Structure 1
């Protein structure tokens, strides 16, 4: 019989949690190839940002992730977390000259940082988010002009809000298993990225490419995985070819990038 998953872990200081969240964003940036996404190799499908932009954003957000962890440690309600998130977003925009680099990560990774601050074990962070703040997330304001809200209205995609309310199933059921089955951390991150693209309804893809673009992206990722993914010889060239195809169509799975960063964060907290 399998032992029950722990729901609590030795308490981490909010500063350690904030540092881990910022590092997760930097680790996501370092992953390559990631179809359509910014890396140290190129800017993917983005003309308004590059690796330096995302690095500046990730470093700027560290104290806000720390504040969110401290708020979770203190039992804060969603209104307090939302206020810190808005401060983080304003700081991000100042650091990037008005470019939205990590709005989705501020939301999702911020909630996980708050859950970690509460003392929850890495395996339980998503469940804690859903139980403690899920109802308030569902009642919260929906931005009228965000890419996610537009995709929700047009395509019925739930986006980041639905993912958080459900306890981040895409992170725990898709990204983390793929991440942990590979021979190296870099290979695992690529495999997890492709697994997310193949299975998640990404509102960024829907915004950029519509339903046809989202179907193309999912099919390309699924084909990469079906032919062995990172476990097959020559995987780097095949993954790079998918990246080029995304760039040619201006497709960028930014939501999947956020979910990948969340998986990297949870995996780091879980340790070896």
Structure 2
């Protein structure tokens, strides 16, 4: 990687603006991607009663200032306790802005965590890091304690405790293995095999859903729903992915099962948005 050098303040602001715009665009393109099993997409609300595509897009747009501030405050800084506390504070402020924009509906709390870390990590590297360097920097940040983090457990944290499975923090501390080791390789492989961009992204989503212990699914359907998600996503890829008739049939079957279980893989959706973001910033 090239040595990082100082850049004018106006250029830093422009680069921070670019990172924030890419993060918001990744959230919007993830939301619009169809057909996603159990998730909000361009067809409808999936397994949700309180969400819509319009709400997801409004939520994503409300987060642009948060991602911008995360990038600006992280620019060329080392991963230390001071930065960790600062991004924690900015992330919590972003959650409040999101809740105000959605009238109290939690649309992107998990995405603020995942994409917020990756935006900060990209800025720490001057906006020029490879996937491996960005993921490693994000892992360094995630592993640091934030003494001001709320003590009340989220639904995801309760599922982690109840089922004794890895959660969103573990994914980040480990350097986003479902993004770096599964989704991005599948995205690139599907493109090489002739899939269009939507099909390649659906395959990347399936690669995440094959093994992710998605706490959103666990909260709604327990272990039976999570196991069904793993089997169904694997069946889509084994059938050739979303670009093939057999793969699309398997995807439709997975959707039927997830709607039956009232399960929505929100954690996988957050990681797909992270995948799209990293695909762009490392290009």
Structures share fold, TM-score greater than 0.5:
yes
Structure-2 change in CA distance of 1:68 and 1:207 (3 Å): same
> 1:146 matched to which residue of 2?
154
Q: Given the superposition, is the C-alpha separation of residues 168 and 205 from structure 1 closer, same or farther in structure 2, using an over 3 Å criterion? A: same
The yes-or-no answer on 1:214 pairing with 2:214 is no
1:169 CA drift (Å): 1.1
Give the aligned length: 265
Structure 1 position 244, deviation (Å)? 2.6
**Alpha-carbon distance in 2 for matches of 1:126, 1:8:** 18
Equivalent residue number for residue 112 of structure 1 = 118
- 2:111 and 2:2 map into 1 onto residues whose CA distance is 23
Deviations 1:208-241 (A, max 9, x none): 1111111111111111111212243353343233
Give the structure 2 partner of residue 23 of structure 1. 25
**Matches of 1:110 and 1:73, distance apart in 2:** 13
> 2:39 matched to 1:37?
yes
Measure how far apart 1:270 and its partner are.
2.2
Q: How far does residue 108 in structure 1 lie from its aligned partner after superposition?
A: 0.7
Q: TM-score, normalised by structure 2?
A: 0.87
> TM-score scaled by structure 1?
0.91
- Unaligned runs of 5+ residues in structure 2 are 6-11
Q: Cα deviation per residue 1:188-216 (whole Å; 9 max; x = unaligned)? A: 11001111111111111111111111111
How far apart, CA to CA, are the structure 1 residues paired with 2:145 and 2:29?
Answer: 27
Distance 1:108 1:41, change over 3 A: same
SS at match of 1:180: helix
Greater shift, 211-220 or 8-17, is seen at: 8-17
1:29, 1:40 within 8 Å by CA — same for their partners in 2?
yes
Return 69-78 or 15-24, whichever deviates more: 69-78
Residues 1:59 and 1:8: Cα distance change in structure 2 (over 3 Å) = farther
Q: CA deviation at 1:63?
A: 1.2
Distance 1:140 1:31 in 2: 36
Structure 2 match to 1:3: none
Quote the residue 2:179 is aligned against: 171
Q: Secondary structure of the residue that 1:230 maps to in structure 2?
A: coil
Looking at structure 1, the residues matched to 151 and 47 of structure 2 have their Cα atoms a distance apart, in angstroms, of 24
Separation in structure 2 between the aligned mates of residue 122 and residue 106 of structure 1, nearest angstrom: 21
* Residue 127, structure 1, aligned to residue 136, structure 2: yes
Shift of 1:148: 1.3
1:95 corresponds, among 89, 96, 101, to: 101
Q: Which runs of 5+ in 1 are unaligned?
A: 1-5
- Alpha-carbon RMSD across the aligned residues, in angstroms, is 2.0
Matching residue of 2:189: 181
**Greater RCO (CA < 8 Å, at least 6 residues apart):** 1
Q: Distance in 1 between matches of 2:188 and 2:23?
A: 19
The one of 70, 78, 84 equivalent to 2:84 is 78
